[in-house]
Amino acid sequence: MEQVNTPAAENASYDMSADPVDKELILRAGRGDTAAWQDLVTKYQTPVFRFAYLIMGETSAAEDVAQETFIRAFLKLNSFDVERPLRPWLLQIAKNLARNKRRSMGRYWAAIQRFLHYNQPDLISEPDFTQVDSELLWVAVRRLKPAAQEVVYLRYFMELSEAETAVTLDIPPGTVKSRLHRALKKLRQVIEESYPELKP
């Protein structure tokens, strides 16, 4: 899933261009310059972590995903198209890793809860790993479906363009528009019903 030349990437490429500084660092890193790669990691580790946290909802799990993202990216660096921006590609890798890890964690917690229920009913199980954010707007966004959360976060919290969002989520740009429209409509409903203090 970490391939660069996805249909979404091809459809979105018309308004995307590589950062010249990133391009030079990528080329140097591909030749074995570890300092150049570290510069890229330093530049992008925060957005990668934040996006992983959006999906995972837990700090240590998001840190693991972020670390693995950069390992995967480095191993695939020579196949990366340096004419494209790096950030959407990194976020796409993080998205796939986080979704897979979340599914695994969900199965793990389900097994633990079954064990507690059938063997030690007096024990209190761990809190749901997705219920950790306290800021009101963030809570409202977290009430959306995962796909809606992702598109809202990428467009408005991380300020990606529609094209970059399409590459990150591996969907056509038109789907970004329609998904975002539905997500904002639902978010408005959530705010009106449960968080009226957020209304302008």
Q: pLDDT digit string (tens) for 27-56?
A: 999 999 999 999 999 999 999 999 999 888
Check whether 139 has a pLDDT greater than 90.
no
Residues 151, 169 contacting (CB under 8 angstroms)? yes
Bigger pLDDT: 96 vs 139: 96
**In the predicted model, is pLDDT for residue 10 greater than 90?**
no
**How far is the C-alpha of 162 from the C-alpha of 156, rounded, in Å?**
11
Q: Report the percent of the chain where pLDDT is more than 90.
A: 45
Tens-place pLDDT, residues 176-200: 999 999 998 898 888 888 877 766 5
Q: Are 94 and 56 contacting, i.e. CB atoms less than 8 angstroms apart?
A: no
Distance between CA atoms of 191 and 30, rounded to whole angstroms?
A: 47
pLDDT in tens, 56-110: 888 888 999 999 999 999 999 989 999 999 999 999 999 999 888 877 655 544 5
Q: Say how many CA atoms lie within 13 Å of 182 toward its Cβ.
A: 13
At 138, the pLDDT band (50, 70, 90 cuts) reads: confident
3: pLDDT strictly greater than 50: no
pLDDT in tens, 160-169: 889 999 999 9
Which residues contact residue 39 at a Cβ distance below 8 angstroms, ignoring those fewer than 6 apart?
25
More confident residue, 58 or 5: 58
44-63 in b/e form (b: 16+ CB < 10 A) is: bbebbbbbbbbbbbbeebbe
Q: Answer whether 132's CB lies under 8 Å from 54's CB.
A: no
All domains of the chain in start order, with CATH: 7-198 (1.20.140.160)
Q: 159: alpha, beta or left, given left = phi > 0 and alpha = psi -120 to 50?
A: left
Answer whether 133's CB lies under 8 Å from 142's CB.
yes
Residue 125: band (very low, low, confident or very high) from pLDDT cuts 50, 70, 90: very low
97 CB contacts (<8 Å, ≥6 apart)? 52, 65, 68, 69, 72
What is the maximal distance between C-alpha atoms in the chain? 59
Whether 114 has a pLDDT exceeding 70, the answer reads no
Cβ neighbours around 149 below 10 Å, total: 19
Query: For residue 13, which of 22, 21, 4 has the smallest C-alpha distance?
Result: 4
pLDDT above 50 (res 127): no
